[in-house]
Amino acid sequence: MATQRATLVTVSEGESGKLTTLVERRSFLAILFSTIAAAFAAVCALPLARYIAYPLYAAGSRGHWVDIGPVSDFTSTSEPVRKLVNIEHVDGWQQTVSQQAVYVTRDANGSFLALSSVCPHLGCSVAWQSQSKTFVCPCHGGCFAPNGSRISGPPPRGMSALATRIGGGRLSIQPPSA
């Protein structure tokens, strides 16, 4: 309002004054418009941003224990045992199952060690090579020791170890969120 009153005053100051008034009034209105529009866009953008970002916050499947078989299946100490696990998880609006391979072996203390087959480099599936007694990633040649630690190649770290649990003579693992 103050600006408008000011413009009214300048109007009486003659031709050059009129010109400035017009310019001033234009920029005043432009600022008014853009402020209203920006405030408005912000109010409407908030629900939209929440809506788009929802999957980032939706509950993952971490925390589920998955039974992978009786302990007796994993007694071999020479070779890691490869197991396919069905991981049930909520994928958007539906319940689905994805399969993941895990390797079960024993660490130096003799306790179970479950390793994710997903290469920590770029996510290819790592395979066990029984001749060389190493895990080798087929994509970029990452090489891991039987306990999953990194030997060579581009991966930044060793293979991911998954939590294990024994109950009632059966081994369960906690898969990474699928």
Partner 1 sequence: MSKTEFQCNAQTERMGARRLYDWVDQRTGARSLLRHILDERIPGGARWAYVFGSGLVCALFIQAITGVALALYYVPAAGTAHETVAYLTKQVWSGSFIRGVHAYGSHFIVLLLFAHVIQTFFYGAFKNRREILWLSGVCLFLLMLGMAFTGYLLPWDQRSYFATMVGTNVIAEVPGAGPLLKRLLRGGEEMGTLTLSRFYTLHILVLPGLILSLIALHVCLFRRAGPAGTPEDDLMKPRRPSQPFYPRQLLMDAGFALALVLGLVGLAHFLPITLGPEANPASTDYIPRPEWYFLPMFQWLKYWQGPRAVIGIVIVPSLVLILFASVPFLDRRYERRARKRLLSVAGFVLPLAVLALLGALSYRDDRVDPRVRLQLEHQKDEEERYMKQPFAPALGATSLANTVPPSPEVAAGRKVFLAHQCNFCHGDNATGTAAAPRLVGIGEQLSTEQLMGLIRKPNARMTAGKMPAFVGSDDDLHAVVTYLLSLR
Site string for partner 1, 12-41 (x = CB under 8 A): -------------xx--x---x--xx--x-
Query: Rounded to whole angstroms, how far apart are CA atoms 37 and 19?
Result: 27
Residues with Cβ within 8 Å of 162's Cβ and at least 6 positions away in sequence, in order, are: 102, 114, 115, 116, 173, 174, 175, 176
Stretches 3-11, 86-94, 124-132, 134-142: which one binds partner 1 (CB under 8 A)? 86-94
Q: How many residues bind partner 1 (CB under 8 A)?
A: 29
Q: Which lies closer to partner 1 via its Cβ, residue 13 or residue 88?
A: 88
Let me know: does 84 contact 96? Beta carbons within 8 Å: no
Q: How far apart are CA 80 and CA 157, in angstroms?
A: 19
Task: Assess 98 for contact with partner 1 (CB under 8 A).
Answer: yes
Assess 84 for contact with partner 1 (CB under 8 A). Answer: no
Q: Are 83 and 170 in contact (CB under 8 A)?
A: no
CB 175 to partner 1: min, Å: 14
Q: How far is the CB of 71 from partner 1 (least distance, A)?
A: 23
